[in-house]
C-alpha cells in the first residue's frame, strides 16, 4: 500500500481518501515527511515565506462560546475588552515603528452582540486611509455570516462593502472541523461546515482570496481530518481561491475540551499529509505560534513552506496555553529558516516576494 501511494506521489497523481487515511494511520513518519518535502519543493522550490504582520483582535466578547476557545468572553465579564478605532490604529503604528515596515494586519474578532456592521467597515477604512500600503487580512467566514445576519444584507453585499472599505484577503479561521457530528460536539453554536464553505466560495467568486484552516487534536477522528481536507480540495478545484492552508494544533488549556496537546509526530504528520492531499493549494503554513518555534522549523522539512509572520501579539492560542512566544523578530525568523537549508522570503499578503534573504 505504502509503495503504491509513494508511486502516485512521485508520478504527480492525486491521492484518494483511502490513501490519506492510510498515511494518518501509518508510523512511517520519515518517509511521509520526505515525500511532502519533495512535493513542497516541486511547488515552491527552496523558498520559505513569512510576512511582517501584526495580529489584532478588536474584542474578545463573543456570542458563540465554542468549547475549544479560551479567548472568548461574555459581555460583562471582568476581563472582557473592546478596542476603539484609535486603539487599533495605535497598535498598527507601534508595529510599523517596531519592525521598521509592516506588510499586513490580521484582524479577527469575537462576534460582539452590540457592534454593528458599520464599525467593522470603519476599522478597515481607517487603517487603509492611514496605511494604504498595508495589506488587510480580516474576518473569517463565521464573522461574515454574523455581519450578514446582523445587518440584514446578503453575504455578497457584506463582502462587497468590506472589499470597498479595504479588505484584501480573508483568514482561514472558523473552519475547525467540517464533519457535523464532531463539529456539534466542539462548537454547537457555530455555523455549519457547509455554510463556512459556501461563504468562502462566495468570497472567491467575488475575487477575494482566502486561507483555510483545520483545528485538529481534540475529539476528531482521522476520518474527520481526511473529510475536511478533501472538502477543501474539492472547493479549490472549483474556485482556485485558497492561498494557504494552515493546520491548527489544538491548545487545550483553559478550554472545555481537556485532552493532551497533540504530539510532535501528529503535528508533523498532519502538515505533511496536508501538503500531499492539497495538491491544488499553493502554500502550507506552519503556524509557529501553535506548533512552537522548534517544531515549526522542522515542519519546513515536512511539507510546509510558510511560517505566517512576526505576529507581534497573539491572544487566541496564548489564552489556551500556547507555549511559544507572542511574536518573533525578523532576524529570528530568518535564522530559523536558514538552518533548514531553505531560503527565507519576505512576502506580501498575496505571496508576492518582497525581499529574498539569500
Ligand atoms: O478560528 C481557537 C483556532 C483560529 C483554539 O488565515 C484554536 O493566515 C487551537 O485562524 N487551540 C484563529 N486553535 C487562528 C487562525 C489563523 C492563525 C494564523 C493565520 C491564519 C491565516 C489564521 O484559532 C480560530 C480557531 O480555529 N482556535 N481556539 C485552541 N484552543
Question: pLDDT for 154-185, tens place per residue?
Answer: 999 999 999 999 999 999 999 999 999 999 99
Element housing 84 (H / E): none
Domain ranges of the chain: 28-356
What burial letters (b/e) apply to 15-25, b meaning 16+ CB within 10 Å? Answer: beeebbbbbbe
* Cβ of residue 191 lying under 6 Å from some atom of ligand 1: no
C-alpha closest to that of 182 among 71, 248, 257, 109 = 257
86 alpha-carbon distance from chain centroid: 26
CB atoms near residue 185 (< 10 Å): 16
pTM over 0.95: yes
Nearest CA to ligand 1 atom 15: 173
Determine the average pLDDT of the residues in 17-25.
Answer: 98
Helices then strands, each counted (H, E), the chain: 15, 11
List all residues 6 or more positions away from 137 whose beta carbon is below 8 Å from its beta carbon.
53, 104, 105, 106, 107, 168, 169, 170, 171, 211, 349
| Ligand 1 atom 14: residue of nearest CA | 173
What would the mean pLDDT of 38-51 be, rounded to a whole number?
98
pLDDT, average across residues 251-267: 98
Angstrom CA distances, 181 to 21, 215, 248, 252, 285, stand at: 19, 15, 19, 20, 27
pLDDT at residue 358, as a whole number: 86
Ligand 1 atom with minimal separation from the 69 CA? 28
* Atom of ligand 1 at shortest range from CA of 322: 11
Q: Which CATH class is domain 28-356?
A: alpha beta
In the chain, % of residues over pLDDT 70: 100
Amino acid at each position: 500500500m505504502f509503495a503504491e501511494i509513494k508511486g502516485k506521489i512521485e508520478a504527480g497523481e492525486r491521492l484518494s481518501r483511502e490513501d490519506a487515511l492510510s498515511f494518518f494511520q501509518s508510523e512511517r513518519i520519515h518517509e511521509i515527511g520526505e515525500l511532502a518535502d519533495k512535493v513542497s519543493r516541486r511547488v515552491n522550490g527552496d523558498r520559505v515565506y513569512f510576512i511582517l504582520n501584526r495580529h489584532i483582535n478588536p474584542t474578545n466578547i463573543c456570542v458563540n462560546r465554542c468549547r475549544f476557545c479560551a479567548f472568548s468572553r461574555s459581555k460583562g465579564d471582568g476581563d472582557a475588552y473592546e478596542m476603539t478605532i484609535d486603539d487599533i490604529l495605535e497598535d498598527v503604528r507601534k508595529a510599523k515603528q517596531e519592525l521598521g515596515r509592516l506588510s499586513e494586519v490580521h484582524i479577527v474578532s469575537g462576534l460582539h452582540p452590540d457592534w454593528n456592521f458599520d464599525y467593522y467597515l470603519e476599522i478597515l477604512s481607517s487603517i487603509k486611509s492611514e496605511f494604504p500600503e498595508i495589506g488587510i487580512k480580516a474576518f473569517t467566514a463565521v464573522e461574515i455570516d454574523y455581519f450578514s445576519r446582523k445587518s440584514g444584507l446578503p453575504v455578497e453585499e457584506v463582502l462587497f462593502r468590506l472589499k470597498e472599505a479595504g479588505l484584501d484577503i480573508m483568514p482561514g479561521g472558523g473552519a475547525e472541523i467540517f464533519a457535523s457530528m464532531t463539529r456539534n460536539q466542539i462548537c454547537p453554536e457555530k455555523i455549519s461546515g457547509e455554510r463556512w464553505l459556501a461563504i468562502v466560495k462566495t468570497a472567491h467568486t467575488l475575487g477575494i482570496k482566502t486561507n483555510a484552516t483545520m483545528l485538529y487534536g481534540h475529539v476528531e477522528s482521522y476520518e474527520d481530518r481526511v473529510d475536511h481536507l478533501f472538502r477543501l480540495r474539492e472547493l479549490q478545484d472549483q474556485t482556485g481561491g485558497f492561498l494557504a492552508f494552515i493546520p491548527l494544533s489544538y491548545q487545550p488549556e483553559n478550554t472545555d475540551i481537556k485532552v493532551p496537546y497533540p504530539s510532535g509526530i501528529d503535528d508533523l504528520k498532519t502538515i505533511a499529509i496536508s501538503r500531499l492531499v492539497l495538491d491544488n493549494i499553493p502554500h502550507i503554513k506552519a503556524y509557529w505560534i501553535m506548533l512552537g518555534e522548534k517544531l515549526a522549523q522542522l515542519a519546513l522539512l515536512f511539507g510546509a513552506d510558510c511560517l505566517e509572520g512576526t505576529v507581534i501579539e497573539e491572544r487566541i492560542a496564548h489564552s489556551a496555553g500556547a507555549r511559544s512566544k507572542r511574536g518573533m523578530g525578523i532576524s529570528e525568523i530568518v535564522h530559523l529558516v536558514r538552518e533548514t537549508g531553505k531560503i527565507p522570503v519576505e512576502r506580501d499578503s498575496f505571496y508576492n516576494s518582497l525581499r529574498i534573504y539569500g
